[in-house]
Amino acid sequence: MNHLDPHRHVRGESQYLDDVPTQQGTLYAAVFESPLAHGVLKSLDFSAALAAPGVARIFTATDIPGHNQIGGIVADEPLLAEGHVHFRGQPVALVLARTEAQAHAALKLIKVEIDPLPIITDPRVAAAQGELIVPPRTFKIGDSADTWASCAHVFEGVAESGGQEHLYIETQGAYAFPTEMGGVRLISSTQGPTAVQRHTAHVLGLGMHQIEVDVTRLGGGFGGKEDQATPWAALAALGAFLTKKPVKLVLDRMADMRMTGKRHPYSSDFKIGLDANLKITAYEVTFFQNAGAAADLSPAVLERTLFHATNAYFIPNVTATAFSCRTNLPPNTAFRGFGGPQGMFVVESAIAKAAEELGVPTSEIQRRNLLREGDLFSYRQPAEMCHAEQAWDTAAQEFDLAGIRAEVEQFNQTNKLKKKGFAVMPICFGISFTKTPMNQTRALVHIYSDGSVGISTGAVEMGQGVNTKIAQVAARTLGISISRIKIETTNTTRVANTSPSAASATADLNGKATEMACAALRERLLRHACLEYTLNYEGLEIHDEQVLAAGVPAETDWEKLVSSAFWKRVALTENAHYATPGLHFDASVNQGHPFAYHVYGTALTSVTVDCLRGTYTVDALQIAHDFGQSFNPVIDRGQIEGGAVQGIGWMTMEEIAYNEEGRLLSNSLNSYKIPDIYAAPAVLDVHFLDTPGHPRAILRSKAVGEPPLMYGIGTYFALRDAVRAFQGHTALPFSAPMTPEKVLVSLYPTGVTSRDPSGAALLPRREEPVPS
């Protein structure tokens, strides 16, 4: 079963927001943004802009009829700046013009006066000044403070990880239409149609029933449209509401990069204690999350960092504290992994530090401390159906861990200016929204009288293949061909009160709701068949569109059955609600059972570094992954490949740079690099682990969207391994991304001077003779 969309994608037939035919009278919007990162808004002068050709209206905060507030978790984010500006790129005014070009030209004619205030870009500086988004959180199990004295080895350090630009191919945008009842219909490129609906209603001072949000598909979201599609939709809606004309707002790439938040950079302190057998007995970690200028989803991201602070390891004594720090950068937001990767990077750094100091292979410490069945996470949920060791051992065997290690050593002994490096990266990722009430959704299934089927759920298709999976679930449950099934747009009037498509849980939640609705319809149809064709309900089934009674074809097939049910006035529509059972979490003590289950896996990464240039290649990424019982191996493998390469990008070449004035320097694809096919691993193997899946996973096929991103962390440590092989094991900071520039500096920790005409400084600084 292939993904249903790519055929249409490559032919240009798929409809994205920008493909929606424009309605007559449409006004095009452009957003005037703050040119300073912090200050008091003194004055705005629109006179020249309003006189410019084609300009219809310019709106500011004072024109908002409802509330100038779009904060989801904390009410700290105005839709349009009022009084103060808090980051460069913050929306200040909305310009509407007859063409997009005219709207953008008018932006340049707006004059603004801002009294500058001090700018903070560093989360540790923010924390020191008490600039916190929410009070700090601590997850604690055992007593780490009491354990240090009994540890054989204790190591401390600092780890830094950078931000990441989502770089969805389709930029943010929305198209708003005024409706006859004084409401607004919105087409939005959002992962969270209900969030867009709720915030737009709030901004316009309307009930949610006055706002309809429709989503066909996204050209990628990656978390960047979980919360941050809202401002653009609310702005377009504001324009449509006030002018009674359709308003379209689409960000160009550079505006999108400047104005939207990214993955949170973190700066963290760690302390790790091991016993004489290399068992980790204690771990303390403090995370400083760079939240940006408003909360957005930062508190939830922060929480997931804490949930994943110990990755796939069992550590009996853990104290993990996290600070969400307010800085003058665009509010950072959800990004594949949702804080999990940032937490895992630190524990992997701590283990690497211990291994480097002790002179043992990192993998030795990693393997000894993997989670086992029944081990408790710091939040007291036990690891159940735990495949951490199975994943590791399968990867080691399947891809010949010992052989790779020997090959790397051999290569490094015989090569001076090229070095290979190697790392193992186990992962463990919890599936469910960590906010328990978000784990609910609905499916609305219509069987039409000709036997075709239309399905609406809360799921948003963003390339991850959720529509294909839902169609498969329905086809299986109803016993019919997938060609009869249409997955409808995601629309707030058909399925209300949805959570965003996120947390990797979209297929599980919406698939389960679909399964329930289809099972109810199947039962109703089969009960009808009993009456109509005098059959026994026991042993009755629909298979390949044929009704079977105890395995024998009955005198009706799907089409006839549906038609006859319709004429006998049997309801052919069903609506099901699914809420993941068994979840609870008490945030006052940070304990409970927040996840339906965990996903496991292990990746082996091999790299080669060119020690003259600092450039490198990822030679192989070999993964053993716990899919459970995958019912779409093509899509699932695609998620692993895409996620892992995105993780490699985060850890290597993707470097977000702001200057001290809070201005984004990496503001285009000239200065911000994401991996392309040449940067992807030369070999990328995915081994499907033989695991039973989990009953809470849809058809026992486990969630797959986010977990593979964290395999990319292995590339950082493989590069570090190669660099250390060259520069003679001098201490290096733990600082991602490992850009070629950083690799080059790391290769020559004491620098290279032009006073080395022999080039001797380019050779490893070691006592032992260099092999020729």
**Alpha carbon of 455 to those of 192, 364, 484, 517: distances in Å?**
18, 50, 11, 10
502 binds ligand MOS (CB under 6 A): yes
Taking CB within 5 to 8 Å according to partner kind, which of ligand MOS, ligand MTE, ligand HPA, none is near residue 466?
ligand MTE
**Alpha carbon of 523 to those of 73, 509, 512, 515: distances in Å?**
41, 21, 16, 12
212 binds ligand MTE (CB under 6 A): no
Taking CB within 5 to 8 Å according to partner kind, which of ligand MOS, ligand HPA, ligand MTE, none is near residue 300?
ligand HPA
706 binds ligand MTE (CB under 6 A): yes
CB atoms within 10 A of CB 584: 10
| Contact region with ligand HPA (CB under 6 A), list: 46-54, 131-139, 427-435, 456-464 | 427-435
Among 228, 506, 580, 591, binds ligand MTE (CB under 6 A): 506
Q: Which two tokens stand for residue 613?
A: 């240039």
Q: Which two tokens stand for residue 322?
A: 């996290």
Q: What are the helix (H) ranges across 308-379?
A: 340-358, 362-368
In angstroms, the CA 278 to CA 286 distance is: 23
Residue type, 449: S
Among 38, 336, 367, 419, binds ligand MOS (CB under 6 A): 336
| Contact region with ligand MOS (CB under 6 A), list: 60-68, 335-343, 589-597, 606-614 | 335-343
Among 260, 321, 362, 464, binds ligand MTE (CB under 6 A): 464
Taking CB within 5 to 8 Å according to partner kind, which of ligand MOS, ligand HPA, ligand MTE, none is near residue 620?
none
Question: Which residue from 681, 704, 680, 707 is spatially nearest to 622, judged by alpha carbons?
Answer: 681
To the query of whether residue 77 is one of the catalytic residues in this protein, the response is no
**What angle separates helix 506-533 from helix 466-478, to the nearest 10 degrees?**
20
Task: Please identify which of the residues 113, 706, 767, 768 carries the catalytic annotation.
Answer: 706
647 binds ligand MTE (CB under 6 A): no
Nearer to ligand MOS, 249 or 297 (CB): 297
319 binds ligand HPA (CB under 6 A): no
**What angle separates helix 340-358 from helix 298-307, to the nearest 10 degrees?**
40
Nearer to ligand MOS, 226 or 574 (CB): 226
What is the secondary structure of 611-655 as a DSSP string? TTT--EEEEEEEEEE--BS-S-HHHHHHHHHHHHHHHHHHHTT--
348 binds ligand MTE (CB under 6 A): no
Instruction: Decide if 151 contacts 275 (C-beta within 8 A).
Output: yes
In angstroms, the CA 444 to CA 6 distance is: 25
Among 290, 504, 605, 691, binds ligand MTE (CB under 6 A): 504
Among 336, 637, 663, 742, binds ligand MTE (CB under 6 A): 336
SS3 of residue 240 by DSSP: helix
Nearer to ligand MOS, 245 or 336 (CB): 336
Binding mask 58-97 for ligand MOS (x = CB under 6 A): ----------------------------------------
Minimum separation from the CB atom of position 377 to ligand HPA (A): 15
Q: Using CB under 6 A, count the residues that bind ligand MOS.
A: 11
In angstroms, the CA 173 to CA 155 distance is: 48
SS3 of residue 135 by DSSP: coil
Binding mask 293-332 for ligand MOS (x = CB under 6 A): ----------------------------------------
Q: What residue number has its CB nearest to ligand HPA?
A: 503
Exposed e or buried b per residue across 707-734, where buried means at least 16 C-beta atoms within 10 angstroms of its C-beta: bbbbbbbbbbbbbbbbbbbbbeeeebeb
697 binds ligand MTE (CB under 6 A): no
343 binds ligand MOS (CB under 6 A): no
434 binds ligand HPA (CB under 6 A): yes
**What angle separates helix 713-727 from helix 633-651, to the nearest 10 degrees?**
40
SS3 of residue 307 by DSSP: helix
What is the secondary structure of 48-72 as a DSSP string? HHHHSTTEEEEE-GGG-SS-S---S
* Helix, strand and coil in the chain, % to nearest 5: 30, 25, 40
| Contact region with ligand MTE (CB under 6 A), list: 131-139, 156-164, 172-180, 700-708 | 700-708
Minimum separation from the CB atom of position 171 to ligand MTE (A): 13
Within 560-579, the residues that bind ligand MTE by CB under 6 A are none
Taking CB within 5 to 8 Å according to partner kind, which of ligand MOS, ligand HPA, ligand MTE, none is near residue 462?
ligand MTE
CB atoms within 10 A of CB 539: 11
Among 106, 466, 526, 653, binds ligand MTE (CB under 6 A): 466
Nearer to ligand MOS, 228 or 472 (CB): 228
Q: Which residues contact 642 (CB under 8 A, 6 or more apart)?
A: 708
In angstroms, the CA 338 to CA 500 distance is: 13
Residue type, 507: A
DSSP 428: E
Taking CB within 5 to 8 Å according to partner kind, which of ligand MTE, ligand MOS, ligand HPA, none is near residue 28?
none
Minimum separation from the CB atom of position 399 to ligand MTE (A): 24
502 binds ligand MTE (CB under 6 A): yes
Q: What are the helix (H) ranges across 108-192?
A: 123-128, 144-147
Q: Which residues contact 690 (CB under 8 A, 6 or more apart)?
A: none
Within 295-314, the residues that bind ligand HPA by CB under 6 A are 297, 300, 304
**Alpha carbon of 462 to those of 306, 500, 725: distances in Å?**
27, 12, 42
Within 193-232, the residues that bind ligand HPA by CB under 6 A are 226
Among 81, 474, 502, 535, binds ligand HPA (CB under 6 A): 502
Among 123, 173, 223, 594, binds ligand MTE (CB under 6 A): 223
334 binds ligand MOS (CB under 6 A): yes
Instruction: Decide if 310 contacts 346 (C-beta within 8 A).
Output: no
| Contact region with ligand MTE (CB under 6 A), list: 503-511, 517-525, 526-534, 547-555 | 503-511
Taking CB within 5 to 8 Å according to partner kind, which of ligand HPA, ligand MTE, ligand MOS, none is near residue 464?
ligand MTE
650 binds ligand MOS (CB under 6 A): no
In angstroms, the CA 312 to CA 304 distance is: 14
Minimum separation from the CB atom of position 499 to ligand HPA (A): 7
Taking CB within 5 to 8 Å according to partner kind, which of ligand MOS, ligand MTE, ligand HPA, none is near residue 238?
none
Within 196-235, the residues that bind ligand MOS by CB under 6 A are 221, 223, 226
Nearer to ligand HPA, 317 or 504 (CB): 504
SS3 of residue 749 by DSSP: coil
Main-chain phi, psi angles of 429, to 5 degrees: -135, 130
Instruction: Decide if 249 contacts 186 (C-beta within 8 A).
Output: no
503 binds ligand MOS (CB under 6 A): yes
Residues interacting with ligand MOS, by CB under 6 A? 191, 221, 223, 226, 334-336, 338, 502-503, 706
What residues are labeled active site? 706
What are the residues binding ligand MTE (CB under 6 A)? 220-223, 336, 462-464, 466, 501-507, 639, 642, 703, 705-706
Chain residues that interact with ligand HPA, rule: CB under 6 A: 226, 297, 300, 304, 334, 338, 433-435, 438, 502-503
